[in-house]
Every structure is written in structure tokens, then in C-alpha cells.
Chains A and B, each alone.
Chain A
Amino acid sequence: MRLFRSNIFLWCLGIALAIQVYIAFETPIGGSFSDAATLAMNGMQDVTPVKATLVSTDSSGATFTDLYGQPGHVQITNRSYGSFQSYKKRDVLVISVAYNLAAKSFDLVEVVRVNPMMTFPMIQGLGELGRNILLHVPMAMVAFIAFLIGTIYSIMFLIKKDFEYDRHARAASAAGLLFTILATVTGSIWARFSWGTFWNWDPRETSIFILLLIYAAYFMLRSLLEESEDKKARIAAVYNIIAFVSVPFLMFVVPRITQSLHPGGGGTEAPVVNLSGQTHTDRTLLNMHWVSVVLFLFVFLWIKDMYTRILRLEAKRAEEA
């Protein structure tokens, strides 16, 4: 594609990605008062950031309503850094609070941000680790899209018999494999910190492992065949199409039917791609997520385009030799 040969576009893409990743990791997490209370009562986390609107200040602290409209009184204690004196009514504050189990009230720890542009949702049990959603999930989605594009190019190759399509299919599958590996690595690191081990053989982990095997077999098949280029490309294209039949089963069906540590397993509804067509995800997170998907998709197309050109050069060299 011509688009990926203009340096200006690529620098814009790079800057957009950097800004997106920075925003995603810099945005404060804002939960609700009930988040703070449940997390403290379960002993999971003492201090929880809460996003709330200031209603009134008094001598001991201030009254807030959180994002669900639930009221809460936050007290200034000797643990607190700062006070509420300088804030006006209707200011939206992200405050980290500690739940006082005895008094059933909230103690201020510190004021994190005033009138934030956006806040990252508080995901109970994940907390700050939840930010990895914006790397891990878009990578897996782009990997699926890449394999889909690769399969479409393989079908085109079988119809049109033009090697250009074969090169596109190879490049798309290779870039898809790269994104699958990235999703596996980000997921594995994530699993270490939220589930305890790098690898649990969760249904989704199993299925991404098999996905890696499928496309490893695809590239192995190409390198093992000692046939003419035409035959090799034809066999690889057919295998690519057959293999893709099982990809939706692996990525969408099996993890949704079996019990899973991932959301959406074992009959519960998946957060974004599900049958009811509704999303059960915070708006901000969802918007950030789709922005990430689009940006990663551009990175994928860039890598794919570059690899296609390399393959084209290789083919030309082989022709000349």
C-alpha cells in the first residue's frame, strides 16, 4: 500500500501509538465507594482510588457522590495527605481512600487528580493490572483479523493464480503469528501477576497455543516442501484455508463453552464479542480499546506491507538467479 511508504504517515502512527499507550497507562483509575468497601472487606486492597463529585465540605472532611450516584463521606485523618479546602462544589476528584471497617466510613489518603479528562475503570481483582487489557486484547483481535486476511488472500490466490496474492497471504499470516506471540507474551506476564503462574492451561491459553502450532505448521510446510514454487504455494494456500476453519472454534467457541479464568468462559457472557450484541464494559475503556485495535491494525498492515515487499524482492531475485 502506498500509504505505508510515506514517512509522515508512519511518524504520525508512531506518535499516535505512543500517546495512546501513555494515556492508557497514565489515566488515573477511578472506582466507586462500593468498590473501596468490598475490596477492603475482602482484604484484597486497603487503599482504593475513587472517582467522585464533591457535594459539600465540613469540618471533618467532605461528602461526595460517586459515579453510580452513591453518596459517601470521606474523612480527613492523620493518614491523609492534603485536605478538601481548596476544592469547589461539583469538582470531580479522584481520591484514594481507605475503608474504615469499624466506623464504616472512608478515610482520605490523598487526592490523586482533580477534574480528570477521563478515568480508567476500577476492575475488582485487577486494579492497575487491568490496564494490560489495552495491549493484550487488541493484539489477540488483530491476530485473528490477520489470519482472516491471510485466508482471504489464500482464496484469492487459488482463484486468480497470481503469486502476488500468495505473498500477501504469507505476509499476513506471518504478521498474525507475530501478534499471536505478542498476545501470548503479554497475557503470560499478566497471568503471572493476577493468577500466580505464567501458564495455567486455561482454555484460552490452550487455544492460543494451538493457534501458534497451526501457523508454525503452515510455515514449516512451506519450508519442508521440495516442489516447484507453484505447487508449494498451492499446497500452502489449501492448508491455510483448512487451518482457518478451526481458528474461530479455537478463538471464539471453545473458550466460551468451557470453564475459564478469562472473562466470558463457562456460560457467562463475554465482555465485548458476545451473542446478545451488548457490551458489558466501561465506555472509556471500550473507546480506548477500539482506538488501540485500530492503531495496532495499522501497525499490522505496515508490517504486512513491508514483509510483502521483502517477499516480492526475494521472488525477483530467485527469478533472476
Chain B
Amino acid sequence: MTNGWAGVLRKDLRIEFRTRYGVSAVVMFLLITVAVILYSTPGEQLQPSIMSALIWIALFFGAMTGLARSFVSEEERGTALLLRLYASGESVLIGKLIYNLGLMLMLAVSAVVFFLFFFARDFNVRDWGVFWLQLMLGAVGIAAVSTILSALISRASQKGALLPILALPVLMPLVIATTDATRIALEVPNAWAGARGDILILISFDVAMILVSYVLFDVIWKD
């Protein structure tokens, strides 16, 4: 195993291919969410604002179930100590971040596919460019925050319920901006003018979060 971030990433991917825990948890979560929405709103016209709220609720809680695992599982399996010995904190963070980002992007893309399939009538994206841009930026932000907070709570004795409680308020500016941008992309064909402010919030939030987690990671990781 190489000691760089690529090694950490390769290790996580190998475990994922062996168990398929993350992907299946996330896909199941999405399917159940979509089923609940379909079951409770039969034949109803869902407005763009409701549609964007629903997709981001699904993405946020999906991320909380899937991405919380990244550091918690290391502690549970007792492999965190080995990881600490073999790789530098920096490469662990980058490896985990890229892995979580991949998982998050997969979650986002499958959510869009499910929504396109199941809500064919109401889920009409008018501006695909802005839609994908804000989806990617939102995914990056959620991945960054849940990676660092997952590392934070993995050091605590009670792990499960803590992540959503800690992550939701911190992610709220991002969620506000993405739901707004999604709504605009669903409503108007040329969404860039309306969504520019949201996109700027997303970019600065993502950059700030990644920088802060890069600086703070060693503090959490080192004992």
C-alpha cells in the first residue's frame, strides 16, 4: 500500500467493492425517500420550490447515512490506529474527502435519475447547466463538511445520532443556496442571472470549508 492519498482512496474503494455498504445504503435510502414521496402525494402537482426542497432533503439525509461511515467505520473496525501509522494526516483527509466526494456525486446523480424517472411530469429542469453546476457544488460542500465532522465524531463514544445534529446547522447556508438555485433552474430556462448569487455563496462556502478542514484535520486526527 502506498502512503499517499491515492493509497487511502484505493483502500476505501476496495472495501466498498467488497461490501458495497455505502452504495447500497445510499441507493436504498433514496428509493425509500422517493417511494414515501410518491405514496403521500398521489396525482398532485409538485411546485418547483417543493421539488427542490425534496431533492435536497433526500440528498442531505442520504449523505448523512452514507458519508458518516468514513471515519466511524475505521474506529469501529479498529483500523484507525494502523491508518494513523501508515499514512500522514493530510493524505488520509484527501483520500477520504475524494472517496466521500465520489460517493456524494454518485448519490446526487442517482437522485437526479430517480427524480427524472419517478417525477417525470413535475421534475422539469429548464436550465441543465446551472442545475448540474449547483448540484456539483452542493455535493462538494456536503462531502467536505461531513468528512471533517465524521472525523470529529469518530473520536467520541456515541457516534450515530450526532452527525446530522452537528452537520445540519453548519450546512444550512449551503442548503439554502442550493435549494434556491435548484428552484430557479427548475423554473426559468435562463437561470444564470437569478442563481448567480447562490452559486457564489456555494463556491465560497466550499472553498472555506475545504481550507478549514485541511487546517484542522491534524488536530482531530493526532492523539
A–B direct contact (CB < 8 Å)? yes
The reply to whether B170 and A225 contact each other, CB–CB distance below 8 Å, is no
Contact string, B130-149, partner A, CB cutoff 8 A, digits 1/0? Answer: 00000000000000010011
Chain B neighbourhood of A235, CB < 8 A: 152, 155-156, 220
Chain A neighbourhood of B169, CB < 8 A: 210-211, 213-214, 217, 243, 246
Q: Which listed residue (B156, B212, B220) contacts A227, Cβ 8 A?
A: B156
The reply to whether B162 and A221 contact each other, CB–CB distance below 8 Å, is yes
- Mostly, the A contact residues are helix
Number of interface residues of A (CB under 8 A): 32
Q: Which residues of chain A in 183-228 are interfacial with respect to chain B, using CB atoms and an 8 Å cutoff? A: 203, 206-207, 210-211, 213-214, 217, 220-221, 224-227
The reply to whether A210 and B166 contact each other, CB–CB distance below 8 Å, is no
Chain A neighbourhood of B220, CB < 8 A: 234-235, 238
Task: Choose, from B62-70, B120-128, B197-205, the stretch at the interface.
Answer: B197-205
The reply to whether B219 and A238 contact each other, CB–CB distance below 8 Å, is yes
Identity of the chain B residue whose Cβ is nearest the Cβ of A206 in the assembled complex: B176
Q: Which listed residue (B155, B162, B168, B213) contacts A242, Cβ 8 A?
A: B213
Number of interface residues of B (CB under 8 A): 33
Q: Which residues of chain B in 150-183 are interfacial with respect to chain A, using CB atoms and an 8 Å cutoff? A: 152, 155-158, 162, 165-166, 168-174, 176-177, 180
Q: Which residues of chain A in 240-271 are interfacial with respect to chain B, using CB atoms and an 8 Å cutoff? A: 241-243, 245-246, 249-250, 253-254, 257-258
- Distance in angstroms between the alpha carbons of A117 and B204 in the assembled complex: 47
B186 at the binding interface (Cβ < 8 Å):
no
Provide a sorted-by-A list of 18 A–B residue pairs whose CB atoms are within 8 angstroms: A203-B176, A210-B172, A213-B169, A221-B162, A225-B157, A227-B157, A238-B216, A239-B152, A241-B216, A242-B148, A242-B152, A246-B174, A246-B205, A249-B173, A250-B172, A254-B173, A254-B176, A257-B197
